[in-house]
Amino acid sequence: MRHLLEESARRAISYLEGLGTRKVAPSPEAIAKLAALDEPLGEQPSPPDSVISMLDEVCSPASMAMAGPRFFGFVIGGSLPVTVAANWLATAWDQNAAFYSVTPAAAMIEQVALRWLLDILRLPPGTGAGFVTGATMANFSALAAARHAVLSRAGWNVEADGLFGAPPITVVVGEEAHSTLFKSLGLLGLGRKRVVRVPVDAQGRMRADALPPISGPTIVCTQAGNVNTGAFDPVGEVCEKVHAAGAWVHVDGAFGLWAAASPALARLMAGVENADSWATDAHKWLNVPYDCGLAFARDPDALRAAMAITADYLPAAVPQRRPSDFTPELSRRARGIEVWAALKSLGRQGLAEMIERSCRHARRFADGLRAAGFQVLNDVVLNQVLVVFGDAERTDRVIAELQTEGTCWCGSTVWQGRTAMRISVSCWATSEADVEKSLEAMLRIARKHAQK
């Protein structure tokens, strides 16, 4: 075992050390070699070290350097080295994080990490929370708490009786809500399409002046951090307008909620703390390994009512927080360990610096692209930049060549009718030199296509 694990650690370290110098996207040749995996399952066992060497030799070159400093697609953080190390230790422990009484270390560490998170994310003390796989499940869990609360106020027990015959719930969303929010609504039986859509402004912010009149059980879904522009809905204003009518306000802050950690960005967060529930990801801007999302509900009992179960063979209630009372899963890995390690290692200042650094890099990209005559479509308020290199076809050609050339990796999007390249800066490892190197590649390729 020792040799196998040490050899695997050696391979992993060498992979991580190579991230800054390799091409970001895997080569077509490396992808073609994945065919070696497509073999019949052997009758006889394979030696474990040959399994690991095959994994590394076939799959490492065919992986995207997502954990590296010049991957700017989607919204993807890397993993702080301390979180990779914590993850290795936690994997060795192999704790099922459901119960305090059987896995006290995992439960305690989650509890401490959650207390720190409420503080750093400026959420109300006493807020209930659960560790889930990502923002999709965090939205799902928080909206399950919302569904419980608004129906319970109308005298209906949704956990016991389901939605058949229940009082109807009005769900209000901004036109620019993330696609996964609709998936969460669908999973909860609230319907992907059965929503009232509120118009947005040019940055994708919900227009609080265009909210519909609210009556009856209502959930209003807002967003802190639009995936394309980084813009924040005016959550405080929305809360003021709809709370009087008894509506529940949810915030999808998959990456934007981390702005709270930076005093310089706190103005974006005005009133976010007045909402009733929040979803975020730690695998994005906190830079912990996949997968790690967080669901928060101001009223812990609403989240508990939606999630908790009992069974005769499961441990009885103890005075300490029982992690599985707040999550859709019963058995799951102890995600809080990496979150704790990240926060403990960064401290308040280190976290603020990491968030601000990403935003500074995003502004540098925008300034460099604008100075070269290319149009930046968004106000760069956070870590997202949208740039166009001409018409849709030319922008697509630039993106395709940039991805193949390999200095960095950016994806495409369509923003309010225009095809654009997205630059999302979320990785702890991105340095000023990485930004300059990537900018040089973007401008070189964009100029080449401008001349065609």
Ligand X SMILES: Cc1ncc(COP(=O)(O)O)c(C=O)c1O
The smaller minimum CB distance to ligand X, of residues 252 and 276, is found at 252
User: Could you tell me if 68 and 427 are in contact, meaning their C-beta atoms sit under 8 angstroms apart?
Assistant: yes
The smaller minimum CB distance to ligand X, of residues 107 and 132, is found at 132
**Interface pick for ligand X out of 135, 231, 408, 435 (rule CB under 6 A):** 135
**Interface pick for ligand X out of 254, 268, 382, 402 (rule CB under 6 A):** 254
Identity of residue 142: A
d(CA 215, CA 259): 32
Q: Which of residues 30-69 bind ligand X (CB under 6 A)?
A: none
From the list 96-104, 250-258, 385-393, 410-418, the region that binds ligand X by CB under 6 A is 250-258
Q: In angstroms, what is the minimal distance from the CB of 113 to ligand X?
A: 18
Q: Which of residues 369-408 bind ligand X (CB under 6 A)?
A: none
Q: In angstroms, what is the minimal distance from the CB of 257 to ligand X?
A: 10
Q: Where are the beta strands (DSSP E) in 119-198?
A: 128-132, 170-174, 196-198
From the list 91-99, 222-230, 356-364, 438-446, the region that binds ligand X by CB under 6 A is 222-230
Nearest to 86 by CA among 106, 115, 116: 106
The smaller minimum CB distance to ligand X, of residues 136 and 430, is found at 136
Q: In angstroms, what is the minimal distance from the CB of 178 to ligand X?
A: 4
User: Could you tell me if 355 and 261 are in contact, meaning their C-beta atoms sit under 8 angstroms apart?
Assistant: yes
Nearest to 382 by CA among 222, 259, 253: 259
Q: In angstroms, what is the minimal distance from the CB of 227 to ligand X?
A: 4
Q: Other CB atoms closer than 10 Å to residue 212's CB: what's the count? A: 13
Q: How far, rounded to the nearest angstrom, does the alpha carbon of residue 258 sit from its chain's CA centroid? A: 10
Position with the least CB separation from ligand X: 134
**Interface pick for ligand X out of 227, 380, 388, 441 (rule CB under 6 A):** 227
Token representation of residue 37:
């995996």
d(CA 194, CA 309): 29
Pairing, β 293-297 against β 128-132: antiparallel
Identity of residue 21: T
The smaller minimum CB distance to ligand X, of residues 25 and 177, is found at 177
Q: Which of residues 290-319 bind ligand X (CB under 6 A)?
A: 293
The smaller minimum CB distance to ligand X, of residues 58 and 187, is found at 187
Rule CB under 6 A: is residue 288 a binding residue for ligand X?
no
Q: Dihedrals φ, ψ of 359, to 5°?
A: -65, -40
The smaller minimum CB distance to ligand X, of residues 103 and 287, is found at 287
The smaller minimum CB distance to ligand X, of residues 107 and 143, is found at 143
d(CA 206, CA 202): 10
**Binding residues with ligand X: total (CB under 6 A):** 15
User: Could you tell me if 445 and 394 are in contact, meaning their C-beta atoms sit under 8 angstroms apart?
Assistant: no
From the list 81-89, 123-131, 252-260, 333-341, the region that binds ligand X by CB under 6 A is 252-260
Binding mask 168-187 for ligand X (x = CB under 6 A): ----------x-x-------
The smaller minimum CB distance to ligand X, of residues 268 and 441, is found at 268
Q: In angstroms, what is the minimal distance from the CB of 192 to ligand X?
A: 14
Nearest to 293 by CA among 327, 259, 268: 327
d(CA 350, CA 23): 29
Most distant CA atoms of the chain, gap in Å: 72
Q: What is the DSSP-derived secondary structure letter of residue 58?
A: I
Q: Which residues bind ligand X (CB under 6 A)?
A: 74-75, 134-136, 178, 180, 223, 225, 227, 252, 254-255, 281, 293
